[in-house]
Amino acid sequence: MKIQALFRSLLAFGTLASFVAATSPSSHAENGVYSHKETRFGQLTTSDYGGSLPPNHLYLDGKESKPSAKGNNHLEISAIYQGHDNKDYAVLKSIGGEGCPSRYAIASVDASGAHPTAFFGTCADAKSTTFDKETETFTIQMPLVRDRQELNKIVKFKIHDGEITRDGAPQPSSCPATGCRG
């Protein structure tokens, strides 16, 4: 009964279309693909709702990553970086979730597939991402978050050869057998 009253009031104020659009899956999804970028080893894609593949997973040319990488509400390929001759890298962003809206992972991409690290972050959007091609090291900086509030302290994550540090301290970098979850 309360839901019907809500829809009647939304319709009365001409906002039903806005309500439906705000609560529907992302309109930037197309044919079950949320995001895609080309690497030297093939097309890297993330699946979305409404496609034939499970949503929010990472694929290279249709083959799921090993281990599996699964985003929260969406999994976005933010950027691709070329490493040395035998490897590219993708910055992945898990989007959505009430408790932690943004988490990141780095996937190495080679001829055998896409291989993500564990997801990491402070729950804030990254302020900067740099990649040192010579050492194949990422530095990602983001604000510290406490009680869902961004503080004025910047946290620095370094990712090299699949290992993650947070302000110099080692962090879990491998995923459990069930896969990486954003």
pLDDT tens for residues 9-30? Answer: 433 333 333 333 332 333 345 6
Ordered strands of the 63-64 beta sheet: 33-39, 42-47, 58-60, 63-64
Q: Tokens 């970086």 correspond to what residue?
A: 81
Question: What average pLDDT does the segment 155-166 reach?
Answer: 96
pLDDT at 27: 33
Predicted confidence band of residue 165 (pLDDT cuts 50, 70, 90): very high
Could you read off the pLDDT of 119-149 as tens digits, one per residue?
Answer: 999 999 999 999 999 999 999 999 999 888 8
d(Cα 144, Cα 39) in Å, to the nearest integer? 32
pTM of the entire predicted model: 0.81
- pLDDT above 60: residue 163: yes
The pLDDT, as a whole number, for residue 143 is 96
Distance of alpha carbon 60 from alpha carbon 43, whole angstroms: 6
Question: What would the mean pLDDT of 147-166 be, rounded to a whole number?
Answer: 93
pLDDT of residue 148: 82
Q: What is the pLDDT of residue 16?
A: 32
In tens, the pLDDT along 32-82 reads: 788 999 999 999 999 988 888 888 999 999 999 999 999 999 999 999 999
- pLDDT, residue 100, reads 87
pLDDT of the residue at 30: 65
How far apart, in whole angstroms, are the C-alpha atoms of residue 176 and residue 61? 24
